[in-house]
Structure 1
Amino acid sequence: MSGLGESFAAVVSDGSLLLAGGVAALVGLISFASPCVLPLVPGYLAYVAGLTGAQATAPTGSAPTGPAPGDGAGPGSRTSATVATAAPPRRRVVAGALLFVLGFTAVFVSFGALFGGLGRLMLEWAPLLTRLMGIVTILMGLTFLGGLHWLQRERRITRRPPAGLAGAPLLGVVFGLGWTPCLGPTLSAVNTLAYSEASAARGAALGLAYCLGLGVPFLLVALGARRALTFSAFARRHARTVMRVGGVLLVVLGVLLVTGWWDQVMLWLRAWLASSGLGSSVV
């Protein structure tokens, strides 16, 4: 256990991982705000909670309300029963969202660990392969910007598990494995960063950071958090701008990887943390 703790401490205190993790989390947030994920969030939440009909469209966590005083309807009236039935149970929605997020988190963390492990095994070819993957990241950024229409064809797994809490983690796995091209460009950038870290543990950490950026908004919307709902409405109104910002971010990251400037930034950050003593204070 002590060896495992030391390994985890080494991963967390690595300045380059902190910066790469921040980029991965931001890329995950952009994935959530993309036009082919964000509009489907209410449907996903209703599906994983097993809600149908009026329940799926009622505001999350809304309380049942009875008839107005003086309308002649009692507590057991048809109006009161209808409103009470329409209100979805918040706990069930949040539980379904959490299981759904855990499902795709398992997929993306595995991807990160795989690419990080490959980077360690292929250290001899790391500079060349990192530059090639940087070129792929640039192409994915151009796809976000609308420059490569042939990469924007939507391919996804259409078979879904049963609705409800039991199928929620399986739906998350299906989402992680088959939802492209929306997740493809951003996920390729995260996996490229994982490869450049040349460590399965660091790659898994980057995959987890990506899932935080993508999954936390799902949970906040399920909780009915006002800021999350406001952000969702803003992202819908400015969908094209969100895609452009994401595309520019991916292109810049790709250029840094191709030119080798990313490695230079990482070396500088590690040296700065070592000289300032912040690296040891993190642990």
Structure 2
Amino acid sequence: MNEIGILVALFAGMLSFFSPCVFPLLPAFVTHLTGGKIQEGNMYLNRKKLVLRSIGFIMGFSIIFIALGASASFIGGILMDYRMIVMQVSGLLIIIFGLQMSGLLKFKFLMKEKRIETKPGGKNIFSSVLLGMAFASGWSPCVGLALSSILLLASSSDTLYQGVFLLTAYSLGMAIPFFAISMLVSYSLKSIKKINKYLGKLSFINGMIMIFLGFFVLSGQMQRISAWLATYSLFQ
């Protein structure tokens, strides 16, 4: 599952960042992290502080995501004797989450949020780490659906390390665009408006990817493909 799963997790992390209920909040996140402000369409903040606080925020949500991945893999290991059932249930749930993300299903209970309020512009990078951990703990239902799909994939992985790698890739997928676009919007907010036009399509793409992934897991094809790739790499 390593090669394909990690690529899927990386891409899912990127698309999660561009989800309709995360990306539009980026200017608010940036000002919240730095204690900056927005006036007349322009953002005023300390960019050195933005770099440090963004790193702290990324560390925060990565800690939670990776810990969840390790936990999912550990539980999956305990249920090793029921691996086929775990895979089938995981695949089915990933398909349902994909249908929800793509807009083909609209279950309200899957769109619940749990937000943790924090004071803007904390005194140090540690406050940014805590904010990142709060975000990962349930800030957005969109992230919750994609994250749950990757966690289900981790629960059906062969080892604990694979689950950790999957969620590390997912965290990296969110971290790269978060850091890059945070710096971009500190210079111009116009980029947010331009990208907003495509958020619906990106959410649909994310959902379709999860649906296909779910079918692969449900049918056991993920394991077959991974085994083929592992065998192929031995002869290189």
- Per the TM superposition, whether the score is higher than 0.5 is yes
Q: Distance in 2 between matches of 1:241 and 1:130?
A: 29
- Aligned partners of 1:108 and 1:176 also within 8 Å: yes
What secondary structure does 2:209 align onto? helix
What secondary structure does 1:224 align onto? helix
Partner of 1:169: 129
Q: Distance in 2 between matches of 1:236 and 1:53?
A: 18
Aligned to 2:22, which of 32, 37, 42? Answer: 37
| CA displacement at 1:231 relative to structure 2 | 7.6
Q: Distance in 2 between matches of 1:266 and 1:231?
A: 39
Q: Distance in 1 between matches of 2:89 and 2:65?
A: 21
Partner of 2:212: 252
Q: How do 1:239-278 residues align onto structure 2 when only pairs under 5 Å count? A: 239-276=199-236
- Aligned partners of 2:97 and 2:207 also within 8 Å: yes
Q: Alignment RMSD, CA only? A: 2.4
Q: Distance in 1 between matches of 2:144 and 2:115?
A: 14
Matched, 1:157 2:115: yes
Q: Distance in 1 between matches of 2:144 and 2:193?
A: 24
**130 and 231 in structure 1: CA distance in 2 versus 1, 3 angstrom threshold:** farther
| CA displacement at 1:213 relative to structure 2 | 0.6
- The number of aligned residues is 232
Q: Distance in 1 between matches of 2:41 and 2:33?
A: 14
Structure 1 runs not aligned, ≥5 long: 1-15, 60-86, 277-283
| CA displacement at 1:148 relative to structure 2 | 2.5
Q: How do 1:186-225 residues align onto structure 2 when only pairs under 5 Å count? A: 186-224=146-184
| CA displacement at 1:155 relative to structure 2 | 1.4
Matched, 1:58 2:18: no
Q: What residue identity is the alignment partner of 1:150?
A: K
Range with greater deviation from structure 2 (98-107 or 263-272)? 263-272
- Aligned partners of 2:91 and 2:217 also within 8 Å: yes
| CA displacement at 1:53 relative to structure 2 | 5.1
Q: How do 1:14-163 residues align onto structure 2 when only pairs under 5 Å count? A: 16-52=1-37, 54=39, 58-59=42-43, 87-146=44-103, 147-161=105-119, 163=121
Structure 2 runs not aligned, ≥5 long: none
Larger Rg: 1
- Aligned partners of 2:37 and 2:45 also within 8 Å: no
TM-score (norm 1): 0.75
- Aligned partners of 2:34 and 2:120 also within 8 Å: no
Q: Distance in 2 between matches of 1:231 and 1:250?
A: 27
What CA deviation, in whole Å up to 9, does each residue of 1:93-138 have, x standing for no partner? 1111111111000000001111112222221111111110111101
What secondary structure does 2:37 align onto? coil
Range with greater deviation from structure 2 (155-164 or 112-121)? 155-164
Q: Flag as ranges the 4+ runs of structure 1 deviating above 4 A.
A: 229-234
What secondary structure does 2:58 align onto? helix
Q: Distance in 2 between matches of 1:43 and 1:101?
A: 16
| CA displacement at 1:225 relative to structure 2 | 8.4
What secondary structure does 1:167 align onto? helix
What CA deviation, in whole Å up to 9, does each residue of 1:192-225 have, x standing for no partner? 2212223222211111100111111111123328
Q: Distance in 2 between matches of 1:206 and 1:134?
A: 16
What CA deviation, in whole Å up to 9, does each residue of 1:168-213 have, x standing for no partner? 1111111000124211111112112212223222211111100111
- Aligned partners of 2:185 and 2:192 also within 8 Å: no
**48 and 255 in structure 1: CA distance in 2 versus 1, 3 angstrom threshold:** same
Q: Distance in 1 between matches of 2:93 and 2:223?
A: 17
Q: What residue identity is the alignment partner of 1:215?
A: A
Q: Distance in 1 between matches of 2:87 and 2:50?
A: 41
Partner of 1:62: none
